[in-house]
Structure 1
Amino acid sequence: MTAPATTAPLRAFIRLGRPKFLFQSMLVVALGGTIAVHSGHQAQLGGYLLTLAFAWCTHLMTHYCNEYFDLEADRANAVPTSWTGGSRVLVDGALRPVVSLGAAFALLFAGMLLLALLPDTTTRLIAVAITALAWFYTAPPLRLNYRGLGEISCALVLYGFGPLLACLVHAGTIGATGIAGIAVVCGFQFLRMAVMNLSDIEGDAATGKRTLAVLLGAAGLRALYAGGQLVIHAAVVLLLITGVLPVVAGLLVLVTGAVPAWVSRQLAAGAMAVPARANAVTFWASMHMPLTAAAITAGLLADLLARSGAQWQPWFAVCLLTFALFGGWLATAVRAHRTA
């Protein structure tokens, strides 16, 4: 049954923004706030809501911007997955491309207004960097994802500067534990984006989009992902031994390593050549990121509660609600993938 004519454009517009990815930025903001609370600072509800609004606004802006500037590459991608190759709304002609560009500009301006409300010069400068890297990820003249710089810029925007901004909004500073946690998720995000671009390699190559997958080739990209995962997990073990990461946080990260281990095996077995398996690979490669962010967040909260004299505080409720929302959505998404 097709959607009524009055609601079909609205539904297409929502699909165009791919809101399912917003769970990642929600968990990023929770991670940054938890880093601040773990270091002895008090999280502020106003600061949390402002940071979350900016994160979601910028995240959506990136999606609408990418849909417009990636249209040629998306059209050339004959085998998109549910997580790569864009929303297909513009490719299928459900909306005009100018709608996507207009939405991107509107969200850009909204993000700049939110940016101005941040507490100090440092947080505003970080937010400017996030906005610039997000916009020029696909937009000219930089078009970072067309020059072999998309993976690192995406990692910095979402899992590097993102939690750093959230932490500084509450604490104004960040310690070694916070830096280590952010470095871990940022490194994982770099590898995850490499896998996502591997799924789009043929269409990207045909349209001159020089992602790492195109530059390294499929075999080189698979080696980068597997080797990178080993290096980062070894670093987590070292951070555990040296006490930089609390025990629970480090162990939870290592447990989530089962996901990239499965992804690596699938890549080695040629799963990307089979559409159904490629869809599963890109899904779990994506889910590794929010799972890792949640693991570090939960580990830091557990360490805080285990300390002598530590008491329950409102921030714990914010994190529990975040986990519940993500967990409920993830369960639904897993069921949908199993029945697809």
Structure 2
Amino acid sequence: MATLAQWIEGARPRTLPAAISPILVGAGAAYQTGEFVWGYAALAALVALALQVGVNYANDYSDGVRGTDEVRVGPVRLVGQRLAAPRSVKVAAFTAFAIAGVLGLTLVTLSRLWVMIPVGAVAILAAWYYTGGSRPYGYLGLGEVFVFVFFGLVATLGTMATMTSLTAAGWWGAIGVGAIASAILVANNLRDIPTDSVTGKRTLAVRLGDRRTRIFYVALIGVAFVMTALAALTSPFALLALLAAPLVARPARAVLSGATGRDLIPALVGTGVLELAWSALLAVGLALGHHS
């Protein structure tokens, strides 16, 4: 039976910056317009966190029952390592999704942004079928698309839309945060190429191969900084996000040096830190643009 510490590790807390980051950017872009509601931003953050935890437990369950997590480098796998019953992990996933749903409905009701109801439902379905169901799209190389759309565009622009109309700055920020979030998954799948290839998990990294996956990772990080420059056209303070640039060095070095296995863990951790720092700095820069 899994301990509380193992359940917490199974929720993969290191991935939580990917949940908070788009909320920060969306909130900063909303503040730039002069229309900002703290309560809505807080609710959006809770929804994103619950959805991220749900995704992590769902992936643990689905990969575990398929046997693709039995030999893996990285965080605890509750099902794959037989630390918890599959049914318990599945219940944990759907409990997190239910919490996200209730909080999301509360936010939609308060903001009257009714279009987010079907969008939220699709997000939960996409979270489950990433590795769940008979033909999980995460096994077909589409995981990065899911992350970019839902943990980039939807989370950022959805947060902003609860408070104000969408702006160019919001779009640039959403694309940037989605690119870095996707880079986290690319680094994760780069690490897992050997085991995924054996188990038939055809991630984008498996399809691209080692070398092209490493190039793709760097390109995604580059996209975020291009978006920084575009966002600066709406507020020069957005250039504050460039202060996060030194944080690229460690993860990029791990990826470009040809590191494999556990040696790629710094790339995962470092990219998560980069995403949070870049998003926070961009959010501050956009918010300061309201006063410029």
> Does the alignment reach a TM-score above 0.5?
yes
1:289 is the counterpart of 2:272: no
CA contact (8 A) 1:76 1:206 kept: no
Match of 1:96 among 58, 76, 85: 85
Match of 1:32 among 15, 26, 29: 26
Match of 1:265 among 226, 250, 253: 253
The aligned residue for residue 51 of structure 1 is 44
Give the superposition deviation at 1:238: 5.0
CA contact (8 A) 2:176 2:228 kept: yes
Matches within 5 A, 1:71-82: 71=64, 72-77=67-72, 80-82=73-75
Give the superposition deviation at 1:100: 0.5
CA contact (8 A) 1:123 1:169 kept: no
The aligned residue for residue 201 of structure 1 is 193
CA contact (8 A) 1:134 1:157 kept: no
1:18 counterpart letter in structure 2:
R
Give the superposition deviation at 1:197: 0.7
Give the superposition deviation at 1:209: 0.8
CA distance in 1, matches of 2:193, 2:35: 45
Give the superposition deviation at 1:54: 1.8
Give the superposition deviation at 1:232: 4.5
Match of 1:185 among 158, 177, 197: 177
- Change in 2 beyond 3 A, CA 1:43/1:193: same
The aligned residue for residue 316 of structure 1 is none
The aligned residue for residue 12 of structure 1 is 6
152-161 or 9-18, larger mean C-alpha shift: 9-18
CA distance in 1, matches of 2:86, 2:166: 41
The aligned residue for residue 211 of structure 1 is 203
Deviation by residue 1:128-163 (Cα, 9 ceiling, x = unmatched): 232222222111144121011001101222122111
CA distance in 1, matches of 2:71, 2:274: 28
Match of 1:127 among 116, 120, 130: 120
The aligned residue for residue 325 of structure 1 is none
Q: Number of residues paired by the alignment? A: 286
CA contact (8 A) 2:129 2:136 kept: yes
Matches within 5 A, 1:95-114: 95-114=84-103
Deviation by residue 1:167-213 (Cα, 9 ceiling, x = unmatched): 11122x21111111111111222223211110111111111111111
CA distance in 2, matches of 1:187, 1:212: 15
Deviation by residue 1:243-271 (Cα, 9 ceiling, x = unmatched): 14x2221x233332333344333322222
Match of 1:254 among 234, 242, 249: 242
CA contact (8 A) 2:177 2:224 kept: no
CA contact (8 A) 2:141 2:203 kept: yes
CA contact (8 A) 2:10 2:78 kept: yes
Query: Match of 1:25, SS?
Result: helix
Per the normalisation by structure 2, the TM-score is: 0.88
CA distance in 2, matches of 1:238, 1:159: 17
Per the normalisation by structure 1, the TM-score is: 0.76
Matches within 5 A, 1:149-168: 149-168=142-161
CA distance in 2, matches of 1:36, 1:297: 9
Q: CA RMSD in A?
A: 2.3
Match of 1:225 among 197, 217, 220: 217
